[in-house]
Structure 1
Amino acid sequence: MIMLVGPVGAGKTSLINVLNKSCRKAEKTSSICFSDGAIDTPGEYAQIPRFYSALAVTATNAEIVLMVQDATDFRIALPPGFAAMFPRPVVGVVTKIDAPGANQEDAKLRLFQAGIKEPFFCVSAYTGAGLAELTDYLVRKEV
């Protein structure tokens, strides 16, 4: 099972849908949601410190945490070292790489500052770019 964490609007639900080959429309995630081998988390949980403990506890149900950063969002939404609180391996995923103004290197830097080491995966749920590499990685990790 994978758990996706990241700020509001980063594309977590869309990424889950495309990884599961689901045609569901992405809607605002209002609570932690377990489905189809994935744990979807509200962006507010990554942005409001009082929810951090809920994320850390929920991560014990996952084999790996995917920390998601939108390539078009230049805010620093995740605190330095944020990834260290998770009891599972954390992998960085840069989303929306096909969007106008996307900057993959800045997004990777935000993930690095949040405490993630390589590998980083740059993907587009819209075009499918980078999804094969991410999927292959997850299969190799037996997630």
Structure 2
Amino acid sequence: MLIGPVGAGKTSLLNALQHNCRKAQKTQSICFSSGMIDTPGEYTQMPRFYSSLAVTATEAKLIIMIQDASDFRAVLPPGFASMFPRPVVGVVTKIDRDGANREKAKERLLQAGVREAIFYVSAHTGEGLAEVIQFLAERGCK
């Protein structure tokens, strides 16, 4: 299950992981696709949707929390990952962008409670995708 703020690159990452060349469009509702769950960014930014994320997470083996490397806002609340009944890994997206700061993005994920692996990817260039795909395969998630 992919979670993260609006515009963080969740759907683009999902498409890249599934080798899907479609252009990402705004996710309007929770979408189940080929064994993965894509969630709207608003669900992580509006507390009234947290219960929907928690319930949906019970259908997932793993939570992938996304942080855009070019967005330095602290959008996810401290300890946010602790509400999920599954392991939470982090993925820093958009590492190919000008001004991307991997360390700042990692810091945001750690503040949000990610305690598992953190990966750095670009859905645009493909950098880092192989590591995520291998990790998911080892966990039986793909």
The answer to whether TM tops 0.5 is yes
CA contact (8 A) 2:54 2:85 kept: yes
Which residue in the other structure is 1:77 paired with?
Answer: 75
Which residue in the other structure is 1:36 paired with?
Answer: 34
Pick the aligned partner of 2:115 from 91, 114, 117.
117
Pick the aligned partner of 2:102 from 76, 101, 104.
104
The amino acid across from 2:138 in the alignment is R
Q: How does 1:1-143 map to 2 (within 5 A)?
A: 3-143=1-141
CA RMSD of aligned residues (A): 0.6
Counterpart Cα distance in 1 of 2:110 and 2:93: 15
Deviation at 1:91, TM superposition (A): 0.2
Change over 3 Å in CA distance of 1:88–1:118 after alignment to 2: closer
Deviation at 1:46, TM superposition (A): 0.2
Deviation at 1:24, TM superposition (A): 1.3
Deviation at 1:37, TM superposition (A): 1.3
Deviation at 1:118, TM superposition (A): 3.6
Percent identical pairs in the alignment equals: 68
Counterpart Cα distance in 2 of 1:69 and 1:61: 22
Count of aligned residue pairs for this structure pair: 141
Deviation at 1:25, TM superposition (A): 1.3
TM-score, normalized by length of structure 2? 0.98
Counterpart Cα distance in 1 of 2:35 and 2:105: 26
- The runs of at least 4 consecutive aligned structure 1 residues that moved more than 2 Å come to none
